[in-house]
Structure 1
Amino acid sequence: MSFLIMFLRICRSMSFLVFRAFRCIAMDNYREKKRGTVILLFYFAWFAALFSKMVWSLGEFVLDFYDASRDWKSL
């Protein structure tokens, strides 16, 4: 179970970093006037943000459930 928790925490961090990387690349291309690439990268950033939110929510749910089950067992 601890491996799953560690894996979810790593996935949450990595998905946020992917979103930030796509956003930074898109902003650099926007400054260089590459409009088609910017639109594509903003779509990727949006999907990365959506994925990040899903992973974050799933991770929070699993961690809360795990903490609640540990508290329940300690009673």
Structure 2
Amino acid sequence: MEAKGLRVDLSRARWFKSSRSGPGRDDCVEVAFVGEAIAVRDSKNPAGAALIFTAAEWDAFVDGAKDGEFDL
């Protein structure tokens, strides 16, 4: 697949869940670092669509989360 000018092959992606997910939880997202892209998918639907982010987009998201930008 191609997204944002990046060619992304998710067939060999190694997916990770947050360490805070806990065992047996299926209401999580999974993340894969694929070349220069970062992919995110719903753990309940691993065959479904994945969102693709550039490294800069991912870094901005992580920084925002650390700074509390998304806290309710």
Short-chain TM bin: under 0.3
Q: Normalised by the size of structure 2, how large is the TM-score?
A: 0.26
Which protein has greater RCO, CA pairs closer than 8 Å, 6+ apart? 1
Q: Which has the higher helix share?
A: 1
Q: Normalised by the size of structure 1, how large is the TM-score?
A: 0.25
Q: Which has the higher strand share?
A: 2
